[in-house]
């Protein structure tokens, strides 16, 4: 089916207004298909004209327009032509639809723990027509009445409050007007926990095999939910408009969550099976706050077209971290934003596939997905954070309130939002918009200092725009001069030109560490001078301010990413300082970033075994320092992912001597098994034994990943056949196999075995979206890419695949981002060479 063109959407929106959907779904027709019957009422401004419905059906049973039957066989390329419209119209469509297994449409999953089936609807971005016939574009909003028939032992939820009217029969309350891409129905033998807050009924749902974990974690989830409601009610001045508030934690979900009004769907990995860190709890809390922010910004007021999708996500991203930091116990949320989200976004913004936050072309619906990335989320949120600093927080909030009030239950554009902020602040945002929203790339910031006898005589903040940029981006940021962990001076700077004099630093003692963006307020790559770079280890260990440590790490990671800092210097600083890091977000995210991006990637293969051993040793030293059992989990995970100590891995696999909360934890056990498998220390029978002890979905997926990771010809041939043969895979099964396949490249001679598969990987890519769907295909490419094969020939093969017109735009985008990481590694190898 061709993607809806923006011009087509504008023409259709100019012709019709949709007044209501009446939808019936029959989910009791077996495991493969379900019935869908919809009645749509709409008006037409030009009687006699024609328009079309969107429909992706297995079989169309009947179509009637204003009582006149249309030929079901006339459906072409996913469209139902509706000719000869009247002023007021009714169209009825009955069809048989197919359940999907790619995380889109009406997804059906089987929990291997008990064989029970679960269904959830994911209508984003253009998957709604695979559930029901509709006018599928964001600016044709309408209220919904939904009825569902389901097996008698299932419960049903959706956007409106669900009521069981008879065994297996459910009716959902009429919704306020909403866009087609928000429609969802969740059905299955879900376990439920309920509560109420401020007159709002609350529900949490999860598959039955996780019922115990939900009972244990419900209070924390409800607490964050209630805190977020209170914060948003106070901030926006508008009551939650969607009635009840359900959160369904569903299996095999492609994204983190989806903001369906009244019925949020989230990936069920957020219901932790066992041991988990504070960072994981913070991430879940942040996701809850993010999706709730969408109830106002995105759901109540929706973008006109997909080119403003960034505004929905940037706003929710910004609000989630603001809410987490100010209204929950996770006061360190902005530290987490800096190390987790901004690091992701910086990587995208430094790549050839960078694009402006706003104004990126979206000539059709699917093209918007190619810009659904760390720029739309992290950089966009950073821009909004800067906007609040630029106009003042009071004016920013007043502008948000005006925007939400003026456009409630309607659609709006970026210009509408900015006009509301301009009205509230009395300031023109034209120049600010050009710098922050219409230009791409990351600015560099550094300090130029003249000193005499250790005293600063003159200091300037220097901002360097990205190559090719024609707009200057103003920055509101802090600059600190730090000695032995103490900020001797911290000044707030509004840099609205390439060079900004800092008179408040003149006459002060020069600190060992001069740190621009010391509170991580802006979006930029910090360049440290030679003296500051040399002082980094000591200052990281000395300072009590986690934002300063974040800013230092951001400078180090950004320096390595841009070829200015030797990656091995980063690893040495990590080995010295990380064992003493007590802010869990920094500790957890740094451990993940360094172990994934540095050995066998940014660090040359010849030095990587030594570097990986340094990481394992840092983990062991951290284990010696921590007393909290929960705090032992992150260093234990680092050791499990990097050690080559076969005896240690064997003991931990047998749950002998595991540290802290890793003891008895099934998921940690699987991490150990996967490492054993990648090192060739266990055979398939040992993996099958571990799988027999864990009959859950997580166990099934972990076993697939472990089997694919084994460095044997038999294992690779089996995994390849699973991935690219005729076997039907769920999106999660494909990702698990992909993550394991190239995992051991570079270790124990596995590169000799795997090198022949690299070219085959690029050759098979055109078939991946057809097998997995567009959203899952992009994630698959990122997971399956041979990141450790840091060779010019691999880069050339990736470029050829990007140029191949048989690959979808989403696959090409994922390849471009992966290639950029590979090119950065090649630059680092050439520039810094071997061991420092």
pTM: 0.96
- Confidence class of residue 602 from pLDDT cuts 50, 70 and 90? very high
Question: Known catalytic residue: 431?
Answer: no
Residue 651 CB neighbour total at 10 angstroms: 14
User: What is the separation of C-alpha 222 from the centre of its chain, rounded to a whole number of angstroms?
Assistant: 22
Parallel, antiparallel, or unpaired for β 200-206 and 245-250?
parallel
Backbone angles phi, psi at 675, to 5 degrees: -65, -45
In the predicted structure, residue 836 carries a pLDDT above the cut 50: no
| pLDDT value at 780 more than 50 | yes
The single residue listed with the structure tokens 């062991």 is: 620
Average pLDDT over residues 786-800: 95
In the sheet that holds 475-483, the strands lie side by side as 486-495, 475-483, 513-516
Q: What is the sign, positive or negative, of the torsion defined by CA atoms of 714, 719, 725, 726?
A: positive
Q: Which of 193, 291, 747, 778 is catalytic?
A: 291
Residue 365 to residue 368: CA distance in whole angstroms: 6
- CA atoms of 345 and 379, how far apart (whole Å): 6
775 band by pLDDT with thresholds 50, 70 and 90? confident
Identify the three-state secondary structure at position 32: coil
Q: Is the pLDDT of residue 140 over 70?
A: yes
- Which DSSP string do the residues of 415-454 spell out, in sequence order? HHHHHHHHHHH----HHHHHHHTS--S-EEEEEEEEEETT
Omega before 125 within 30 of 0, i.e. cis? yes
Q: Where on the phi/psi map is residue 43: left (φ > 0), alpha (ψ -120 to 50), or beta?
A: beta
Domains of the chain by range and CATH?
1-100+120-179 (2.60.40.1730), 190-293 (1.10.390.10), 301-436 (1.10.390.10), 665-836 (no CATH)
The order of strands in the sheet holding 455-464 is 499-501, 455-464, 443-452, 524-526
Q: Write out pLDDT tens, residues 489-511.
A: 999 999 999 999 999 999 998 99
- Tokens 């992909």 belong to 738
Give the pLDDT mean for 672-681: 97
Place of tokens 């090192």: 679
Written as six digits, the tokens of 815 are 């390849």
Gyration radius (Cα) of the chain, Å: 27
In the numeric block, the tokens 């725009």 are attached to 465
pLDDT of 749: 78
Q: How many other C-beta atoms can be found within 10 angstroms of the C-beta atom of residue 471?
A: 16
**If we measure between CA atoms, which residue out of 292, 289, 294, 328 comes closest to residue 309?**
294
CB 643 within 8 A of CB 671: no
Kindly state the average pLDDT of the residues 455-475: 93
- Stretch 778-791: mean pLDDT: 93
Tell me, what's the pLDDT at 419? 98
**Alpha carbon distance 284, 271 (integer Å):** 9
Chain position carrying tokens 């950004």 = 558
pLDDT over threshold 90, residue 39: yes
Cα(302)–Cα(819) distance, integer angstroms? 34
Three-class secondary structure assignment of 140-172: CCECEEEEEECCCCCEEEECCCEEEEECCEEEE
Pairing of strands 301-303, 410-412: parallel
Strands (E), 72-137: 79-82, 88-98, 105-111, 116-122
**Nearest-angstrom CA–CA distance, 350 and 823:** 12
CA distance 331 to 316: 18
**Residue 692 burial class via C-beta count within 10 angstroms: exposed 0-12, middle 13-18, buried 19 and up:** exposed
Q: Which residues, other chains included, contact 627 with Cβ-Cβ below 8 Å and sequence gap of 6+?
A: none
Which sign, positive or negative, has the C-alpha torsion 250, 256, 260, 264? positive
Residue 218 phi/psi, 5° resolution?
Answer: -60, -40
Query: Over the stretch 192-223, which tens digit does the pLDDT of each residue have?
Result: 999 999 999 999 999 999 999 999 999 999 99
What Cα–Cα distance (Å) separates residue 373 from each residue in 132, 159, 350, 407, 786?
A: 28, 27, 13, 26, 21
Does residue 670 have a pLDDT over 60? yes
Site of tokens 């940037």: 314
- 8 A C-beta contact, residue 276 and residue 298: no
Element (H, E) at 192: strand 191-197
- Identify the CA nearest to 40 among candidates 28, 51, 26, 27: 51
CA distances from 679 to 316, 709, 752 (A): 41, 8, 14
Nearest to 218 by CA among 189, 196, 194: 194
HSE of 481, CA atoms in CB hemisphere, 13 A: 20
Strands of the sheet with 185-188, listed across from one edge:
105-111, 116-122, 185-188, 155-158
Mean pLDDT of the chain: 95
Evaluate whether 344 touches 374 at the Cβ level (below 8 Å).
Answer: yes
> Which DSSP symbol is given to 785?
S
pLDDT number for residue 835: 46
User: How many CB atoms within 10 Å of residue 462?
Assistant: 15
Q: How far apart are CA 612 and CA 598, in angstroms?
A: 9
Locate 658 and state its tokens.
């595991």
Whether the Cβ atoms of residue 631 and residue 584 lie closer than 8 Å to each other: yes
Percent of the chain with pLDDT over 70: 100
**Encoding tokens for residue 663?**
């003891």
Percent of the chain with pLDDT over 90: 91
Strand partners, 110: 117
* Contact of 530 with 473, CB cutoff 8 Å: no
CA–CA gap between residue 86 and residue 671 (Å, rounded): 62
Predicted confidence (pLDDT) per residue in 16-35, tens digit = 999 999 999 999 999 999 99
Burial class (CB in 10 A: 0-12, 13-18, 19+), 174: middle
DSSP conformational letter for 465:
P
CB 182 within 8 Å of CB 199? no
Q: What is the pLDDT of residues 622-650, one digit of tens each?
A: 999 999 999 999 999 999 999 999 999 99
Angle at 442 between CA 439 and CA 443, to 5 degrees: 95
CA dist 507 to 84, 456, 518, Å? Answer: 80, 5, 20
- Cβ-proximal residues to 494 (8 Å cutoff; 6+ apart), any chain: 474, 475, 476, 500
pLDDT at 751: 83
Residue 744's pLDDT is: 87
Three-state secondary-structure class, residue 496: coil
**1 confidence band (pLDDT: 50, 70, 90):** low
Q: By C-alpha distance, which of 299, 174, 143, 322 is closest to 234?
A: 322
- Cα–Cα distances (Å) from 151 to 120, 307, 420, in that order, read 14, 40, 49
DSSP string, 290-303: HHHHHTTBTTTEEE
Nearest to 745 by CA among 789, 710, 703: 789
């Amino acid at each position: 089916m061709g993607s809806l063109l923006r011009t087509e959407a504008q023409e259709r929106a100019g012709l019709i207004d949709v007044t209501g959907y009446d939808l019936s779904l029959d989910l009791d027709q077996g495991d493969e298909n379900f019935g869908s019957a919809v009645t749509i009422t709409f008006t037409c401004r030009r009687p006699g004209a024609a328009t079309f419905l969107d429909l992706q059906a297995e079989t169309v049973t009947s179509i009637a327009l204003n009582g006149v039957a249309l030929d079901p066989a006339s459906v072409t390329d996913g469209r139902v032509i509706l000719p000869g419209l009247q002023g007021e119209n009714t169209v009825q469509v009955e069809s048989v639809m197919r359940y999907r297994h790619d995380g889109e449409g009406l997804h059906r999953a089987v929990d291997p723990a008990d064989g029970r089936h679960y269904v959830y609807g994911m209508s984003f971005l253009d998957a709604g027509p695979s559930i029901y016939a509709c006018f599928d574009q964001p600016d044709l909003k309408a209220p919904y009445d939904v009825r569902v028939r389901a097996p008698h032992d299932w419960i049903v939820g959706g956007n409106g409050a669900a009521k069981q009217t008879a065994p297996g029969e459910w009716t959902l309350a009429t919704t306020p007007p909403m866009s087609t891409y928000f429609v969802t129905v969740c059905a299955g033998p879900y376990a439920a926990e309920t509560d109420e807050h401020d007159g709002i009924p609350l529900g949490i749902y999860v598959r039955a095999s996780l019922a115990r974990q939900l009972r244990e974690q419900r209070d924390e989830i409800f607490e964050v939910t209630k805190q977020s409601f209170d914060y948003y009610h106070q901030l926006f001045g508008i009551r939650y408009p969607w009635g009840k508030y359900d959160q369904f934690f569903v299996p095999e979900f492609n994204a983190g969550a989806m903001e369906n009004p009244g019925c949020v769907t989230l990936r069920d990995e957020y219901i932790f099976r066992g041991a988990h860190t504070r960072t994981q709890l913070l991430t879940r809390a942040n996701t809850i706050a993010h999706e709730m922010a969408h109830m106002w910004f995105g759901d109540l007021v929706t973008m006109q077209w997909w080119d403003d999708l960034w505004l929905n996500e940037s706003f929710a991203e910004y609000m989630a971290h603001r809410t987490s930091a100010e209204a929950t116990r996770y006061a360190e949320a902005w530290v987490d934003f800096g190390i987790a989200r901004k690091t992701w976004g910086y990587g995208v913004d430094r790549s050839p596939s960078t694009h402006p936050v706003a104004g990126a072309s979206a000539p059709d619906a699917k093209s918007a997905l190619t810009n659904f990335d760390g720029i739309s989320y992290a950089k966009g949120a950073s821009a909004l954070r800067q906007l609040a600093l630029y106009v003042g927080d009071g004016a920013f909030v007043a502008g948000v309130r005006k925007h939400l009030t003026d456009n409630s239950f309607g659609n709006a554009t970026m210009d509408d939002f900015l006009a509301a902020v301009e009205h509230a602040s009395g300031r023109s945002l034209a120049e600010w918009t050009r710098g922050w929203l219409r230009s791409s790339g990351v600015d560099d910031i550094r300090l130029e200092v003249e000193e005499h006898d250790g005293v600063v005589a003159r200091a300037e903040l220097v901002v360097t725009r990205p190559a090719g940029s024609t707009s200057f981006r103003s920055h509101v940021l802090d600059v600190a001069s730090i000695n032995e962990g103490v900020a001797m001076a911290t000044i707030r700077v509004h840099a609205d030109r390439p060079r900004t004099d800092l008179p408040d630093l003149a006459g002060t003692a020069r600190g060992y560490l001069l740190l621009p963006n010391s509170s991580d307020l802006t979006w930029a790559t910090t360049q440290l001078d030679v003296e500051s770079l040399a002082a980094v280890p000591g200052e990281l260990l000395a300072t009590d301010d986690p934002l300063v440590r974040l800013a230092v790490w951001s400078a180090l990671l950004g320096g390595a990413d841009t070829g200015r800092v030797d990656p091995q210097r980063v690893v040495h600083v990590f080995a010295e300082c990380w064992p003493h890091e007590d802010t869990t977000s920094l500790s957890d995210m740094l451990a993940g970033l360094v172990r994934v991006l540095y050995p066998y990637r940014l660090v040359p293969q010849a030095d990587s075994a030594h570097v990986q051993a340094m990481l394992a040793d840092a983990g062991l030293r951290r284990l010696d320092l921590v007393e909290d059992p929960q705090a032992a989990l992150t260093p234990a995970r680092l050791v499990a992912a990097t050690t080559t100590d076969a005896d240690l891995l064997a003991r931990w696999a047998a749950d002998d001597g595991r540290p802290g909360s890793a003891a008895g934890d099934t998921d940690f056990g699987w991490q150990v098994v996967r490492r054993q498998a990648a090192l060739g220390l266990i055979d398939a029978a040992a993996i099958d034994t571990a799988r027999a002890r864990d009959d859950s979905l997580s166990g099934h997926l972990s076993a697939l990943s472990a089997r694919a990771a084994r460095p044997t010809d038999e294992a690779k041939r089996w995994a390849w056949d699973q991935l690219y043969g005729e076997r039907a895979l769920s999106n999660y099964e494909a990702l698990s196999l992909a993550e394991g396949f190239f995992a051991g490249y570079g270790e124990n001679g596995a590169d000799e075995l795997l090198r022949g598969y690299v070219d085959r990987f690029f050759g098979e890519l055109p078939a991946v979206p057809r097998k997995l769907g567009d959203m899952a295909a992009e994630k698959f490419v990122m997971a399956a890419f041979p990141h450790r094969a840091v060779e010019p020939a691999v880069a050339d093969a990736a470029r050829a695949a990007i140029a191949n017109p048989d690959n979808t735009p989403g696959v090409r985008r994922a390849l471009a981002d992966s290639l950029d990481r590979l090119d950065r590694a090649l630059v680092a190898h050439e520039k810094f060479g071997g061991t420092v």
